[in-house]
């Protein structure tokens, strides 16, 4: 079986969110970058587990980004995977990124494509569905469990008010979320091995984005907290009822 895990680089969860160039660009000054947690903790680790269970599984990683994404993809390779691809493009929107990955997936003939459920920066939740749409692959979103049996995937996905288990034949695309696997920490052997694993840079194919970010905005700051003494809960309830009108 051939698996591709899509990896995105995102700002660290503690990064200061600020904007430059008249609020048109994310200010990357001083920002530490990480592998998008959903891609790493769930999609990648589950793929590694599947390869551990069946060592003849081929596991590839792919990212769309500039050379600054190389350390991130190497970090991912330190956790596992045989080789990686970086499509050399600073993607302007999700469709443009999905289009690049879709071409790679067609060429590579993958049985299973895994993405995180969303990135923690742009929160689009769209990449997996767009790849599936472009390549006409089956799509299971927001998966919390994945098993492979008899040449099909058995996937648990979250639905409104519950979850359901489904069986899907390969090839398919799955977006992964919590429950799928437990986060791992790379060990020294993995980090050393990652240095020599192949990382190929591929030039992008022509495809315009469909959307354009025109500006960013920070939320209005809070007015400040109104404290109520612990023995005055009636007063808190009164404030919530009469002042805030939320109770």
Partner 1 sequence: MSVLIVIDTAEGVVKKSAFETLSYGADLAAQLGVNAIGLLLGATSEEAGSLGQYGIKKIVQANPDQPRADDPTVLADLVSKVAANEQSQVIVFSHSLSGKAIAPIVSAKTKAGLVTGVVELPNTSNGFIVKRAVFSGKAFSHVRIDTPIKLISVNPNSYKINTGGAPATLETISLPAAASRINITKRQKSSNELLLTEAETVVSAGRGLKGPENWGMIEELAKVMGAATACSRPVADAHWRPHNEHVGQTGVAIAPTLYVAIGISGAIQHLAGVNRSKVIVVINKDPEAPFFKAADYGIVGDAFEVVPALTAAVKKLKGV
Tell which positions 16-75 bind partner 1, by CB under 8 A: 17, 19, 37-38, 41
Which of the choices partner 1, ligand FAD, none does residue 108 contact, using the CB cut-off of 5 to 8 A by kind? none
Exactly one of 26, 37, 209, 228 binds ligand FAD (CB under 6 A); that residue is 37
Burial of 225 (0-12, 13-18, 19+ CB in 10 A): exposed
What is the distance between the alpha carbons of residues 168 and 199, in angstroms, rounded to a whole number?
31
Rg of the Cα atoms in the chain = 21
Listed ranges 56-64, 83-91, 123-131, 189-197: which one lies at the site for partner 1 (CB under 8 A)? 123-131
From residue 84 to residue 113, the character string flagging contacts with partner 1 as x (rule: CB under 8 A) and all else as - is ---------xxx--x---------------
Which of the choices ligand FAD, partner 1, none does residue 86 contact, using the CB cut-off of 5 to 8 A by kind? none
151 binds ligand FAD (CB under 6 A): no
227 binds partner 1 (CB under 8 A): yes
Minimum CB distance to partner 1 smaller for 67 or for 244: 244
Size of the site for partner 1 (CB under 8 A): 81
Which of the choices partner 1, ligand FAD, none does residue 165 contact, using the CB cut-off of 5 to 8 A by kind? partner 1
Where residue 2 falls (left for φ over 0; alpha for ψ -120 to 50; beta otherwise) is beta
**Which of 25, 1, 30, 38 shows the shortest CA–CA distance to 14?**
30
32 binds ligand FAD (CB under 6 A): no
State the nearest-atom distance from the C-beta of 13 to ligand FAD, in Å.
4
For the chain, how many residues are written? 247
**Which of 88, 94, 233, 106 shows the shortest CA–CA distance to 173?**
106
Is residue 156 within 8 A of residue 163, CB to CB? The reply is yes
What is the distance between the alpha carbons of residues 89 and 39, in angstroms, rounded to a whole number?
19
Site for partner 1 in 165-184 (CB under 8 A): 165-169, 172, 178-179
């Amino acid at each position: 079986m051939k698996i591709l895990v899509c990896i995105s680089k995102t700002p660290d969860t503690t990064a200061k969110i600020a904007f430059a160039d008249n609020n048109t660009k994310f200010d990357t000054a001083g920002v530490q970058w990480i592998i998008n947690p959903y891609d790493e903790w769930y999609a990648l680790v589950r793929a590694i587990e599947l390869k551990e269970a069946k060592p003849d599984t081929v596991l590839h990683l792919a990212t769309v980004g500039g050379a600054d994404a190389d350390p991130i993809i190497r970090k991912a390779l330190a956790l596992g995977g045989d080789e990686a691809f970086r499509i050399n493009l600073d993607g302007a929107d999700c469709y443009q990124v999905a289009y690049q990955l879709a071409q790679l997936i067609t060429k590579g003939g993958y049985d299973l494509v895994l993405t995180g459920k969303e990135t923690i920066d742009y929160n689009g939740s769209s990449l997996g569905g767009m790849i599936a749409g472009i390549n006409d692959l089956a799509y299971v979103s927001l998966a919390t469990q994945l098993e492979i049996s008899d040449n099909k995937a058995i996937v648990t996905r979250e639905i409104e008010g519950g979850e359901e288990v489904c069986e899907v034949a390969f090839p398919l695309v799955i977006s992964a979320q919590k429950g799928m696997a437990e986060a791992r920490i790379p060990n020294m052997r993995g980090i050393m091995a990652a240095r020599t694993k192949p990382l190929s840079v591929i030039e992008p194919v022509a495809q315009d984005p469909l959307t354009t970010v025109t500006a960013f905005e920070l939320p209005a700051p809070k007015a400040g907290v109104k404290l109520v003494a612990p023995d005055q809960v009636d007063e808190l309830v009164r404030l919530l009822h009469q002042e805030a009108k939320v109770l």
